[in-house]
Structure 1
Amino acid sequence: MIKALWVTAGCISLGLGILGIVLPLLPTTPFILLASACFMRGSERLHQRLLAHKVMGPIISDWQTSRSIDKRVKNKAYIFIVASFGISIALAPIAWVKALLGIIFVILMVWFVRVPSNCS
């Protein structure tokens, strides 16, 4: 029963992470890492499939082994973060929503800049 809950949580996290690729403000990486952690506890087969994925696998492995992100991945993430927040702020109709998005953007960027990067 517990393993089924971990697998369910992993599937939900993976789904949210995939949605985060196209939806601004929905973070992709944390949900993918959470899915990996859930699958690790609930299904070794699903965890191995996620690690074997050609795009997500190396990112998860880097994070699990060294708590770092490849420099190329990090540079792409900067572009997507700036673009998604820029579009969201430009399209937000209310001033306080724009301000809130700006605050979230600054907090996210301060955290992301501090995440170590490696040069794989």
Structure 2
Amino acid sequence: MLRLAGYTALCFGIVGVFLPILPTVPFLLLAAYFFTRSHPELAERLYAHPSYGPAMIQWRDRRAIPRRAKISALIAMAAGAVFTWFTVGWPWVLASLAVLAGAGTWIWTRAE
């Protein structure tokens, strides 16, 4: 069951590489979590990935998010907020902006 959950998270992470609205690293972290418990070799392959591995290792070891990733995430969230502001009805704008503000604050306050 954990292996299936790992593969599912990995699939979402792969889709996130191609869709800018879907994050990649959080799904890869989730996949690594499941694979660590069910298939450690696959978890190590994820941590050894040249592009995503360093960010995943920083999170695993220090719960840190690199500055570049923080800035990218906050820019994407701001773009989503602007898009929501101009396309969605008023009550949903406030709700989504509150969620984005909370998530942005959480991201910004993580170690680097």
Normalising to structure 1: TM-score of the pair? 0.78
- The residue aligned with 2:103 is 108
Of 48, 65, 70, 2:66 maps to 70
Report the CA distance shift for 1:87/1:17 in structure 2 as closer, same or farther (over 3 A).
farther
Report the CA distance shift for 1:69/1:86 in structure 2 as closer, same or farther (over 3 A).
same
- The residue aligned with 1:60 is 56
Listed as ranges, the gaps of 5+ residues in structure 1 are: none
- The residue aligned with 2:9 is 13
Q: Check conservation: 2:65, 2:107, Cα contact below 8 A.
A: no
Q: Check conservation: 2:6, 2:35, Cα contact below 8 A.
A: yes
Q: Which amino acid aligns with 1:58?
A: P
Q: How many pairs does the alignment contain? A: 111
Q: Which amino acid aligns with 2:106?
A: W
Percent identity reads: 29
Q: Which amino acid aligns with 1:51?
A: Y
- The residue aligned with 1:97 is 92
Q: 1:19-98 alignment to 2 at 5 Å?
A: 19-20=15-16, 22=19, 24=21, 26-92=22-88, 94-98=89-93
